[in-house]
Amino acid sequence: MTESGVRPPLALTMGEPAGIGGEIALKAWSMAWAKTGGAARADGAVPPFVLLDDPARLEALAARLGLPVPVKAVGSAAEGAALFGAALPVLPQPLAAPVTPGQPDPANGAAVIASIDRAVDLVRRGEASAVVTNPIQKSALYAAGFRHPGHTEYLAHLAGLTDEPVMMLAAQDLRVVPVTIHVSVRDAVPLVTREAILHAGRVTAAALARDFGIARPRLAVAALNPHAGEGGAMGREEIDIIAPAVAALRAEGIDAVGPKPADTLFHAAARRGYDAALCMYHDQALIPLKTIDFDTGVNITLGLPFVRTSPDHGTALDIAGTGKAGASSLIAALKTAEAMAARRRA
């Protein structure tokens, strides 16, 4: 609790200012509060958050989109939590250049990065309960001198992690963890190693217990090749790499099974048999998740000393500033972050 007795809010980052981050933040606040007779009434849909952004930009965006959201600059996260029902609280993060929706400007890259840095600092100081990140435009940040592959890797750097970060995607009754992430399929195959599977399995099992309240997590490990290699006829990765990794996880007391053919791992009956699926490459994990629930997927970084979630979509530059962006994934990310933070507090 803060000194005022209010629970620390979530810290929501700016994301790419030319994308849809500001719009979905405004819409998420609108979903959290309904105006009745001049008073704000919480409906429980969204936990309180403070946004690290440029208040003037948000006010102009709300006016452009016709969203009746009062924007209020605040001096602290605690102040933001206290007035969340009356206005969208914003910890000011000024931008260096005017924003044109759909047109990222590298001049604003420093502000985008500073927003992430401040959110992490707030959580480390106990002033916020978790970090929730709006989508970034990597090309604009690279042009501004950003040297990390993406959010996940940068957060691992801020946390001082020496091991590779682990990414989980969650939606409805499915959680997936890609063992290899943002590399081509050609490059992913040699990265599927016993050590990589062990690392992903250990971190996932620990996170399921600590952050999701699952006493004995069950992991299903996907095969790499069709039909799990068909006994070696379609590849030996299952025999030489994946099966030994699963055996090692089980020897450590982790309830892991596999390698399981990926084409039968994600139907409803199969999903009831595990708490998370370890997948060998990016699309093997994300295609089933986005097919099952495209709108409310959540990206979660596992293994950090703080909770971090994000909506499972990009900056959507093509619809930025049009009012078409939906806030469902951001709301799911906020709710997931609050639930995870509550379990860590407990």
Same domain, 286 and 309: no
Same domain, 156 and 181: no
**Does pLDDT of 91 surpass 80?**
yes
Q: What is the largest CA-CA distance in the chain?
A: 70
Q: Could you identify the residue written with the tokens 């990414």?
A: 167
In a domain, 166, yes or no: no
Same domain, 177 and 156: no
Question: Which of 267, 290, 313 is the last residue before a domain boundary?
Answer: 290
Same domain, 21 and 148: yes
Q: What is the mean pLDDT of the chain?
A: 93
pLDDT of residue 200: 98
- Give residue-wise pLDDT tens across range 300-309: 999 999 999 9
- Give residue-wise pLDDT tens across range 38-70: 444 455 578 999 999 999 999 999 999 999 999
Same domain, 247 and 334: no
- Amino acid letter, 216: R
Same domain, 114 and 69: yes
How far is the C-alpha of 31 from the C-alpha of 23, rounded, in Å? 12
**Does pLDDT of 2 surpass 80?**
no
Tokens of 139: 């090309």
Q: Strand pairing of 131-132 and 308-311? A: parallel
What DSSP string describes 123-159? Answer: HHTTSSS-EE-----HHHHHHTT--SSSHHHHHHHHH
In a domain, 167, yes or no: no
Same domain, 48 and 148: yes
In a domain, 191, yes or no: yes
Same domain, 102 and 129: yes
In a domain, 300, yes or no: no
Assign residue 339 the CATH number of its domain. Answer: 3.40.718.10
- State the pLDDT confidence band at 164, using cuts at 50, 70 and 90: confident
Question: Which of 266, 290, 314 is the last residue before a domain boundary?
Answer: 290
How far is the C-alpha of 264 from the C-alpha of 320, rounded, in Å? 38
pLDDT of residue 330: 96
Question: What is the separation of C-alpha 219 from the centre of its chain, rounded to a whole number of angstroms?
Answer: 20
Which residues, in sequence order, are CB contacts of 147 under 8 Å at separation 6+? none
How far is the C-alpha of 259 from the C-alpha of 247, rounded, in Å? 10
Cα–Cα distance list, 342 to 2, 139, 213, 293, 308 (Å): 15, 35, 10, 25, 13
Given a contact cutoff of 8 angstroms between Cβ atoms, the answer to whether 24 and 64 are in contact is: no
Same domain, 132 and 94: yes
* Polymer length of the chain: 346
Given a contact cutoff of 8 angstroms between Cβ atoms, the answer to whether 66 and 27 are in contact is: no
Residue 288: asked if its preceding bond is cis (omega within 30°), the reply is: no
Mean pLDDT, rounded, for 69-77: 97
| Percent of the chain's residues with pLDDT above 90 | 85
- State the pLDDT confidence band at 34, using cuts at 50, 70 and 90: low
- pTM, two decimals, is 0.93
pLDDT of residue 303: 93
User: What's the domain range around 79?
Assistant: 10-161+305-345
Closest residue by Cα to residue 238 from 189, 203, 165: 189
Mean pLDDT, rounded, for 154-177: 92
In a domain, 230, yes or no: yes
In a domain, 298, yes or no: no
Same domain, 86 and 179: no
- H or E stretch covering 222: strand 218-222
Given a contact cutoff of 8 angstroms between Cβ atoms, the answer to whether 332 and 297 are in contact is: yes
Same domain, 15 and 56: yes
How far is the C-alpha of 48 from the C-alpha of 128, rounded, in Å? 10
How far is the C-alpha of 272 from the C-alpha of 287, rounded, in Å? 18
Q: What are the start-end ranges of the H helices in the chain?
A: 21-32, 55-65, 77-82, 109-124, 138-143, 151-159, 185-191, 194-212, 237, 243-251, 268-271, 282-292, 328-345
- State the pLDDT confidence band at 198, using cuts at 50, 70 and 90: very high
Given a contact cutoff of 8 angstroms between Cβ atoms, the answer to whether 210 and 344 are in contact is: yes
Given a contact cutoff of 8 angstroms between Cβ atoms, the answer to whether 140 and 106 are in contact is: yes
In a domain, 26, yes or no: yes
Mean pLDDT, rounded, for 270-294: 96
Same domain, 88 and 192: no
In a domain, 109, yes or no: yes
Domain count, the chain: 2
